[in-house]
Amino acid sequence: MHTVMLKAKLHMARVTHAVLHYEGSCAIDGELLDMAGIRENEQVQIYNVATGARFTTYAIRGEAGSKMISINGAAAHHGKPGHRVIICSYAHYEESELDSHRPSLVYLAEGNEVSHTSNAIPVQLA
């Protein structure tokens, strides 16, 4: 049996570009991709905090150090520059991997600067 688990997350990224007439995908600063462990052409889910839109696309490498988060193609209708988004990738894990699995979490501040990283989401308190 496989279980789908969160693999990586870029939390509260700021959209810098929305390019409707582009082949598609989401361009992400190459340094952020590498830090999160998201691969080029990997499927990602994007959650727009401003609008509630949730959509699927794939990651492409943006210029390293650019802090770019560019939502492209038809997905550009789901986000505008300035919107905050959460970008997640998921993977299938074997039962034997579940206890040791830890996602790669990259938290972003203004300007898509990395504020901190983690491998565990804090317990939500009541």
CA nearest to 107, candidates 78, 83, 84:
84
Active site annotation includes 118: no
- Contact (CB, 8 A) for 106 and 9: yes
* CA neighbor of 118 nearest in space, from 8, 3, 4: 8
Known catalytic residue at 70: no
Residue tagged active-site, from 47, 58, 93, 107: 58
**Catalytic positions:** 25, 58
